[in-house]
Amino acid sequence: MKNGTKQEIFITKATGHKELFDVSKLEHSLQRVHASPDIIQKISEHIIQELEDGMSTHEIYNHAFTLLRKFEKPVATRYSLRRAIMDLGPTGFPFERFIAEIYGAQGYEAVTDQIVYGGCVEHEIDIVAWKGDELLMAEAKFHHQLGLKSDLKVVLYVKARFDDLAQGKFTYGNKERVLTKGLLITNTKFTVSAIKYAECQNLTIIGWNYPANGSLHQMIESANLHPLTCLSSLSDHDKKALLEKNIILCKALEENPSHLSSIGLTEVNIEVVLEEIRGLKI
């Protein structure tokens, strides 16, 4: 497509499958993070000119991200959110704490890494959250690569765990409670069979873009919480040092900039980080 001729171009997805390039999908992803119409047009035109048959979606993302950083840096930070979630790894523990923070922003009290007893056996539960008469328990499936999906086997396993937990009683918030909802949450996607089974069994599953209302992406945007891994003003070394201190959120850095000085950042660099964080607020 570099020579300007019109032709069908197939791109390679993270799963390895190929699909016809659709510029409207790119434009929609840019609109979702509130890029300006002029910038969306510039990026679309640039990508179309650079596009080659077989180019990966990751390469296309990198092109778009580089241009966004040049023209609208705060938008670029929001655009990198999905990959920033993956950068919380390699273990799933920071992801679990991040999910707990999201529920905290919704008014729940939330804790992670709990051992609870069901009707038959004990279970290690990633996130427990409660509010009023509600008691939620969530299994968090973290994937550090695009293209990986939670399949039917995972959903079957989680459903069996929650069936056992539905027979138990639990004390949270100084009150004896029963489980009102079990959830499976992942930062990527589900297979078709996993979704079909969950819908049939009335099991709540949440993926990056699933369900249409209430996806993980929407939950993050509604809570206006961003992981510090989305910040381009921090090096990978800085991010790792903060995560090791159990600091997950940009919000935590804004509220307490001493976290940044504790890992050796200068006042000038701290202000650059804080300016990027302020730019995330839409």
Whole-angstrom distance, CA of residue 68 vs CA of residue 226:
18
Write out pLDDT tens, residues 186-228: 999 999 999 999 999 999 999 999 999 999 999 998 898 999 9
- Same domain assignment for residues 102 and 211: yes
- Same domain assignment for residues 139 and 197: yes
Report if residue 5 sits inside a domain.
Answer: no
Report if residue 178 sits inside a domain.
Answer: yes
Residues 34 and 22 sit within 8 Å (Cβ to Cβ): no
- Same domain assignment for residues 193 and 271: no
CATH number, position 186: 3.40.1350.10
- Same domain assignment for residues 45 and 19: yes
DSSP-assigned beta bridge partners for residue 123: 116
Report if residue 125 sits inside a domain.
Answer: yes
Q: Show pLDDT as tens, one digit a residue, over the chain (282 residues).
A: 454 444 688 999 877 889 999 999 899 889 988 899 999 999 999 999 988 889 998 889 888 988 988 888 778 877 888 899 999 988 889 999 999 999 999 999 999 999 999 999 999 999 999 999 999 999 999 998 888 899 999 999 999 999 999 999 999 999 999 999 999 999 999 999 999 999 999 999 999 999 999 999 999 988 989 999 999 899 999 999 999 999 999 999 999 999 999 999 999 999 999 998 998 876
- Which structural domain range is residue 144 located in? 93-223
User: Of the residues 31, 48, 79, which one is the last residue of a structural domain?
Assistant: 79
- Same domain assignment for residues 211 and 154: yes
Residue 280 burial (CB count, 10 A): 19
Write the CB contacts of 108 (distance below 8 Å, at least 6 apart in sequence).
129, 130, 131, 134, 136
- Same domain assignment for residues 111 and 23: no
- Same domain assignment for residues 97 and 189: yes
Report if residue 255 sits inside a domain.
Answer: yes
User: Of the residues 50, 79, 108, which one is the last residue of a structural domain?
Assistant: 79
pTM value? 0.84
- The pLDDT of residue 184: 98
Report if residue 88 sits inside a domain.
Answer: no
Q: What total number of domains does the chain contain?
A: 3
Report if residue 124 sits inside a domain.
Answer: yes
- The pLDDT of residue 208: 93
Write out pLDDT tens, residues 34-70: 899 999 999 999 999 988 889 998 889 888 988 988 8
Write the CB contacts of 245 (distance below 8 Å, at least 6 apart in sequence).
259, 262, 263
- The pLDDT of residue 72: 85
- Same domain assignment for residues 204 and 264: no
Report if residue 148 sits inside a domain.
Answer: yes
